[in-house]
Structure 1
Amino acid sequence: MSTTNPLAAYQPFPELPAVLATYVAGRSAEEPSADGPPPWDIGALPPDLLDSLNEWLDPVCRWLNRTYAWQPQHVIPPCWHRHEGLAYEVAALAFARTDAYQDAGAAVVWHEQWDRFLTRMNIALGKAGEQCRVGRHEERPARFQLAAWPTSEPANGEAV
Structure 2
Amino acid sequence: MTETLTHFEPFPEPPALILEYIAERSTEESVAAGGPAPWDLGALSAELIEPLPAWLDSVCCWLNRTYAWQPQDVIPPCWTKHEGLAYEIAALAFARGDVYAEAGSSVIWHEQYDRFLTRMNKALGKAGDECRVGKHDDRPARFQLAAWPTAKAEETGAAGRIEERAG
Match of 1:17 in 2: 15
- Cα deviation for residue 29 of structure 1 reads 3.0
Match of 2:27 in 1: 29
- After superposition, give the CA deviation of every residue in 1:95-153 in whole Å (9 maximum; x if it has no partner): 0011112221111100000000000000000000000000111210000101112349x
Amino acid at match of 1:26: E
Between the aligned partners of 1:149 and 1:30, the Cα distance in structure 2 is: 41
- After superposition, give the CA deviation of every residue in 1:35-91 in whole Å (9 maximum; x if it has no partner): 421111111111111011112101000000000000000000000011000110000
Match of 2:5 in 1: 7
- Cα deviation for residue 30 of structure 1 reads 5.0
Identical aligned pairs, as a percentage?
Answer: 67
Amino acid at match of 2:21: Y
Runs of 4+, deviation exceeding 6 Å: none
Between the aligned partners of 2:12 and 2:102, the Cα distance in structure 1 is: 18
Q: TM-score, normalised by structure 1?
A: 0.88
1:54 paired with 2:24, answer no
Amino acid at match of 2:32: A
SS of alignment partner, residue 92 of structure 2: helix
Pairwise CA RMSD of aligned residues?
1.6
Greater relative CO, 1 or 2 (CA 8 Å, sep 6+): 2
Between the aligned partners of 1:106 and 1:65, the Cα distance in structure 2 is: 21
In the comparison of the two structures, how many residue pairs are matched? 150
Amino acid at match of 1:60: V
Q: Which stretches in structure 1 are left out of the alignment for 5+ residues?
A: 153-160
Amino acid at match of 1:80: W
Q: TM-score, normalised by structure 2?
A: 0.84
Between the aligned partners of 1:6 and 1:138, the Cα distance in structure 2 is: 43
- Cα deviation for residue 33 of structure 1 reads 4.7
